[in-house]
Amino acid sequence: MSRAEQVATMPAPPGVLRAARKETAGRVRTVTLVLLGLAVGLALATLVWDGHASDLWNQFLGIFGAGNGEGAFTITKLRLPRVVLSVLVGVAFGLSGALFQSVLRNPLASPDIIGISGGASLAAAFGLLVLGVGGIVLSAFAFAGAIVVAAAIYLLAWRDGVSGYRFVLIGVGIAFAVNAGIGYLLTRSEVNDVRSALVWMVGSIGTPPWRDIAVLAVGMLVLVPLVGVSVGRLRILQLGDETAGGLGVGPERARLAVLAVAVGLAAVATAFAGPVAFVAFVSAPIARRLLPTAGLALVPSALVGTVVVLAAEFTAQNVLGALEVPVGIVTGIIGAPYLLWLLATSNRGGRGA
Residues sharing a CB contact under 8 Å with residue 76, sequence separation 6 or more, in sequence order: 62, 65
Q: Tell me, yes or no, whether 25 lies in a domain.
A: no
| C-alpha–C-alpha distance, residues 65 and 74, integer Å | 10
For the chain, what is the domain count? 1
Q: Tell me, yes or no, whether 16 lies in a domain.
A: no
| C-alpha–C-alpha distance, residues 131 and 127, integer Å | 5
Q: With contact defined as beta carbons under 8 Å apart, do 75 and 339 qualify?
A: no
Residue 142, domain CATH: 1.10.3470.10
| C-alpha–C-alpha distance, residues 242 and 261, integer Å | 23
The H or E element that residue 246 is part of is helix 241-246
DSSP letter for each residue of 89-150: HHHHHHHHHHHHHHHHT-TT--TTTTTHHHHHHHHHHHIIIII---HHHHHHHHHHHHHHHH
Structural domain boundaries, residue 218:
81-335
Q: Tell me, yes or no, whether 129 lies in a domain.
A: yes
Q: Tell me, yes or no, whether 43 lies in a domain.
A: no
Q: Which of 280, 251, 311, 338 is nearest to 115 (CA)?
A: 280
Q: Tell me, yes or no, whether 57 lies in a domain.
A: no
Q: Can you give the pLDDT of all 353 residues of the chain as single tens digits? A: 444 444 444 454 556 556 656 666 777 888 889 999 999 999 888 887 765 444 555 555 655 555 555 556 667 677 888 899 999 999 999 999 999 888 888 887 888 888 898 888 888 888 888 888 878 888 888 889 999 999 999 888 888 777 778 888 899 899 999 989 988 888 887 777 787 777 777 888 877 888 889 999 999 999 999 988 888 777 777 776 667 667 666 777 878 888 889 999 999 998 888 888 889 888 888 888 888 766 678 889 999 999 999 998 888 887 776 566 788 888 888 777 877 776 676 555 444 44
| C-alpha–C-alpha distance, residues 336 and 314, integer Å | 19
Q: With contact defined as beta carbons under 8 Å apart, do 144 and 123 qualify?
A: yes
Phi, psi of 159 (to 5 degrees): -140, 85
Distances (CA, A) of 39 to 70, 75, 313: 25, 17, 12
Q: Tell me, yes or no, whether 6 lies in a domain.
A: no
Q: Tell me, yes or no, whether 154 lies in a domain.
A: yes
Q: Tell me, yes or no, whether 169 lies in a domain.
A: yes
| C-alpha–C-alpha distance, residues 53 and 48, integer Å | 10
Q: With contact defined as beta carbons under 8 Å apart, do 31 and 300 qualify?
A: yes
